[in-house]
Amino acid sequence: MPVIVLAGPTACGKSQVASALAKLTPTEMIACDSMQVYRGMRILSQAPSKTHLASFLSPAKEYSAALFRENAGRLIPKILAKKKTPVIVGGTGLYLTALLDGLFPVEEGASSRDMAFRRELEKERQEKGAGFLHDQLRRVDPPSAEKIHPNDVRRLIRALEVHHLTGRPFSMEKPRREGLRRQYPFLIFVLNRDRAELYARINQRVDRMTQEGLVGEVQKLLKRSLSQTAAGALGIKELKAHLEGQATLSEAVELLKKNTRNYAKRQLCWFRREKAARWIEIAPDERPKETAQKIINVILTYKSTTFPYR
């Protein structure tokens, strides 16, 4: 019995399709989202109900891809034992990669990060440009430098950090990863929409979130001690500027829309790396039930399927 993945950019309709899928076959959803794990962020994260790994953690606590992999890895066999289909739903690409392919060993230990070293690299990038970091990486790890674009600052810093922490090139760590793809068959679907329609849906969602009380939710969160992960949620920085009088509500909302659209572009880029993914294009007037049926049709062609369809 395969595990189903419903990935895709924010606001593409993943949760609605997952709910429709649950009406066609017995499933349990697992949220693959770095922000939906937090309590008190219902509006910000748009966390669905009746979903594992959603709204269970204090925003004061850190969460990570390693923790997601550990938690989801425990849930999947339990759901399968109930003769149900685990459906991984979300848009956090790093978490999905961690689940499918594992993490570099250094990412799972207590010393997986060196923030001082990262700050030093970031300072060098600002002063000397990303090309300087790329040159550094080329000296210690030519294979990684070949694969990482000079403007991909996040991956450049991570590759240099891994070498700094382990003394081994980042490229040597990849073969040592192991994910659940070796333990379970996965059927991976990436939901997508026409770009203009997706952006319109993002804008509409932000407007709806604002009407539902987004400003008040962010105001409450800012009174708390937030973890570095939670503080990075889209909407907190933008609304904080408004609450501190540095921007009007209209300006903050427009910036949030822009930043969310940019985030959606990054998500799509990430999911394009997944060679095994089946892309499902959703028409503007397509109902979630119709999209779910497309997915069912693909699953039915899976030779080893034993799903108890209704």
Q: At what angle do helices 288-300 and 14-22 cross, to 10 degrees?
A: 60
Q: Topology of domain 3-102+180-300, per CATH?
A: Rossmann fold (3.40.50)
Taking residue 264's Cβ as centre, other Cβ atoms within 10 Å add up to 22
What stretch(es) of the chain map to CATH 3.40.50.300?
Answer: 3-102+180-300
What stretch(es) of the chain map to CATH 1.10.20.140?
Answer: 105-176
d(C-alpha 261, C-alpha 176), whole Å: 35
Q: Which residues of the chain have pLDDT under 50?
A: 106-111, 304-310
Please state which CATH number belongs to domain 105-176: 1.10.20.140
Taking residue 128's Cβ as centre, other Cβ atoms within 10 Å add up to 12
pTM beyond 0.85: the answer is no
- The predicted-structure confidence for 188-208, as pLDDT tens digits, reads as follows 999 999 999 999 999 999 999
- The predicted-structure confidence for 137-174, as pLDDT tens digits, reads as follows 999 999 888 888 887 787 888 889 888 887 878 777 65
